[in-house]
Amino acid sequence: MYVDVCRSDDLADGEVLRFEPDGLDEALAVCKSDGEFFAVSDKCSHGNWSLSEGFLENCHIECVLHGSAFDLKTGWPDKLPATKPVKVFDTRVRDGVVSVDISSGKAREKPGS
């Protein structure tokens, strides 16, 4: 089930916003990186900290608490101390509106496995 988040021009490249959709018991970090939109669980799998407060670069989001970084395409960390992925949600842009499929959240397959 897709839920509208924002207009595509409301989010500049490199920006993250926290989104709390109705019908989902977790917040999402909605990001624009390298011209693409992504959505992941907002809580770091290591420190239970809000990823939307983190740094976004090259399709990765870094948690400001301990420095773990997560690939926005897979959810898997590529920087310790996190070892578990965060959920990744499908996104789409239609008529200038960014939407997230809140029923699609899952950890993707670990790269290289």
Per residue in 7-63, pLDDT (tens digit) is: 999 999 999 999 999 888 899 999 999 999 999 999 999 988 999 999 998 999 999
Mean pLDDT of 80-87: 94
List of residues 6+ apart from 66 with CB closer than 8 A: 44, 46, 47, 49, 81, 82
Q: Which residue carries 């496995």 as its tokens?
A: 113
For the record, the structure tokens of 106 come out as 């899952």
Q: What is the pLDDT of residues 59-77, one digit of tens each?
A: 999 999 999 999 999 999 9
Q: What's the confidence (pLDDT) of residue 113?
A: 62
Between residues 108 and 76, the one the model is more confident about: 76
CA 58 to chain CA centroid, nearest Å: 13
